[in-house]
């Protein structure tokens, strides 16, 4: 099946919505590096337990993450990027790298924009105050 992003009925939009999520980016980049346990993912990302569970479940459903349960007491669960997930993680890691490399420029642009918005509007030439 070939997707068409510009077709409002195309499921490609659902996939883009998923991968545009900050948690997806953080989790896939982490899991592509090495299989990781739930608690470690939670500590590393700062994500809530509920949102982490939901995001991992969606990524597993999409075939991007695998879940392995170890028969220990208590049960140990480890997550890993699938081969499909690793192909996406490579692209997302480039996005992460861009964000980390350019955050200074983005923050400077935001400060300039905010300062310009806060400045009093100058009167139009020829208008009375």
The domain spanning residue 37 has which CATH number? 1.10.10.10
Q: Say if 62 falls within a structural domain.
A: yes
Three-state DSSP at 59 gives helix
Q: What is the pLDDT confidence band of residue 119, given thresholds at 50, 70 and 90?
A: confident
Give the chain's domain count. Answer: 1
Judged against a pLDDT cut of 90, whether residue 123 lies above it is answered with: no
Q: Say if 122 falls within a structural domain.
A: no
Percentage with pLDDT > 90 across the chain: 66
Q: Say if 60 falls within a structural domain.
A: yes
Q: What is the pLDDT of residue 9?
A: 86
Q: Say if 129 falls within a structural domain.
A: no
Q: Print the domain residue range for 97.
A: 12-117
Three-state DSSP at 76 gives strand
DSSP string, 16-54: HHHHTSHHHHHHHHHHHHS-EEHHHHHHHH---HHHHHH
Q: What is the pTM of this model?
A: 0.78
| Each residue's pLDDT tens digit, 35-66 | 999 999 999 999 999 999 999 999 999 999 99
Q: Say if 33 falls within a structural domain.
A: yes
CA angle 107, 20, 90 (to 5 degrees): 95
């Amino acid at each position: 099946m070939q997707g068409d992003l510009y077709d409002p009925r195309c499921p490609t939009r659902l996939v883009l919505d998923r991968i545009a999520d900050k948690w997806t980016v953080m989790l896939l980049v982490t899991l592509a590096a090495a299989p990781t346990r739930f608690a470690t993912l939670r500590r590393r990302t700062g994500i809530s337990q509920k949102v982490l569970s939901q995001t991992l479940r969606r990524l597993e459903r999409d075939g991007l993450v695998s879940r392995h349960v170890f028969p220990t007491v208590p049960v140990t669960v480890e997550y890993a990027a699938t081969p499909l997930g690793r192909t996406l993680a490579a692209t997302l890691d480039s996005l992460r790298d861009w964000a980390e490399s350019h955050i200074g420029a983005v923050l400077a642009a935001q400060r300039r924009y905010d300062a310009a918005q806060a400045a009093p509007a100058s009167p139009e030439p020829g208008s009375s105050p």
